[in-house]
Amino acid sequence: MKNKKIVIIGGVAGGATAAARLRRLDEFAQITVLEKGEYVSFANCGLPYYIGGEIKRKSSLTLQTPESFRARFNVDVRVFNEVTAINRERKTVTVSDLIKETTYEESYDKLIISTGASPALPAVEGIDDERIFTLRNIPDTYKIKEFTEQAKPRTALVVGGGFIGMEMTENLVKAGVEVTVATRSDRVMSHMDYDASCFIHNELRANGVKLLFNNVPEKIIKKKDYLEVILSSGKSVLSDMIILALGVVPDSKIAVDAGLEVNEKGAIKTDKNMRTSDPDIFAVGDAVESYDFITSSPSHVPLAGPANKQGRIAADNIAGIPSEYKGTQGSAIVKIFGLTAAYTGLSENQAKRRGLNYGVSHTFSPSHATYYPNPEYMSVKTVFDKSDGKILGVQIVGGEGVDKRCDVMATAIRAGMTAYDLTNLELCYAPPYGSAKDPVNMVGYTIENLLTGKIKNFYCDDIDSLLDRKDVTLLDTRTKYEYDRGHIRGFVNIPVDELRANLNLLDKSKPVYLTCHVGQRGYVAARILAQYGYDVYNLSGGYNLYATIMTSKYPEQV
């Protein structure tokens, strides 16, 4: 029987994973990886940290070389070999050897496309300057590192507020560069909701980063010693270097030219087996249209985790093992100076756009028992289905412990768990690591109280409409000391511990909208008032969330 011949276009996450999995499943298959660049497998998520000096050695970025891949997996890896065309009728690919400057054809029985994505570039004048960089691969990394070490730039403009933008911002600041970030939206990390991003805005500013929202470059003027960037607001920014971090677009030209089906953004369409519109061609990774695990709607989420899973699934199906991709949640995490920001599943904005019957809770919890030294707090925003309490998404921003809570919530979403299930999770507890009521349990308790009518919430977006109303009571239940240090205009102060003794001050005919610092004392106060017959609402996230949003919106007033 003839041994199967599999050609893989591109390495890194999806392609390299597929090649390794194929070999483990079939010792006798002929496997060839054609990679147009110098590196077949590298840690692209670690690139910003090499620039900033956290990762010291260049070799740490290279996970496999052609030689090591061949030695372990007996895979023919050819770097500097760019596939320029797919000939579906002949079942061959046209390859340009960039070193020998020759062209040849390679046949296949099955083909895997793992071409990834390319940095999105703005169509503006002056973008071709050598002081303007993107970061997608190891050569990009070396260029930026060399420039920062030799030219010693004092200022940098980072265009884009996503993962690469945030990681490059932190690492440039650590290298002694003054950084301005310009984003096309009203926030950084635009996959998160605005209220969650506000924590990040305040952390960036605390580390000297300037933020320019709703701004994109319209023109770049080259000067001898600097670059002048004209933004869409009319503002001019002078900078020694520019990092373009506007996201990525699928690198799918060869698929389009071959007549494979793609979506409107150019991402290659596949079925759940990662098979394209051609039954002998599979596609994986950042070039591929995926689908949302929660809503089953099409999506394009260029992340390493999905790419690795898709590579494995394509290999399984080629080897005759039925295997399906189950959808992408979009679980992601980023370090931004002293903060960690993580999310999984749907944001509130996404749930709203899809017309879902959703609810939102905000909780604020310590990373470990508060009596153990140095707990770090995390803000947890959870989106849930109001009909059954199923968890739809979560966004967590804080210090220590954010990663493991987001991972638990990602697992809960994948398992179809509800808020009621979260209350029953038995998670590891010891004072240095957590609390007897873990932040995940607290999310469950909070949503359970909402679903069972024990509490009614209102939100920071509702405050402006309440401030001048005469038919409501606005109540702050924090201590007088906390209230005097800062409070929401119009809210009167009765500490929760003095509430029962001052019920005569509250008009029972008026709804009571109350707040505390993070929502916990507000919940206690709301339960007291509800049982005395008051119609009462608690501010989700409390004064802490409100103050964070106001500080982000109006930093000049802080």
Active-site positions read: 45
Tell me the CA end-to-end span of the chain in Å, nearest whole number: 75
Distance, CA of 168 to CA of 244 (rounded, Å):
10
Q: Which residue, among 311, 273, 299, has the nearest Cα to 13 in the 3D structure? A: 311
Distance, CA of 298 to CA of 317 (rounded, Å):
22
* Runs of H (alpha helix) within 175-303: 194-206, 253-257
Do 4 and 30 touch, CB atoms closer than 8 A? yes
Identify the bridge partners of residue 42 per DSSP, sorted by sequence position: 62
Q: Amino acid letter at 260?
A: L
What does the block give as tokens for 350? 């996404």
| Dihedral sign of CA atoms 278, 298, 406, 548 in order | positive
Q: What are phi and psi of 117, to 5 degrees?
A: -140, 160
Distance, CA of 261 to CA of 258 (rounded, Å):
9
CA separation (Å) from 305 to 285, 294, 389, 477? 9, 17, 27, 44
Identify the bridge partners of residue 110 per DSSP, sorted by sequence position: 6
Cβ-in-10-Å burial (0-12, 13-18, 19+) of 558 comes to exposed
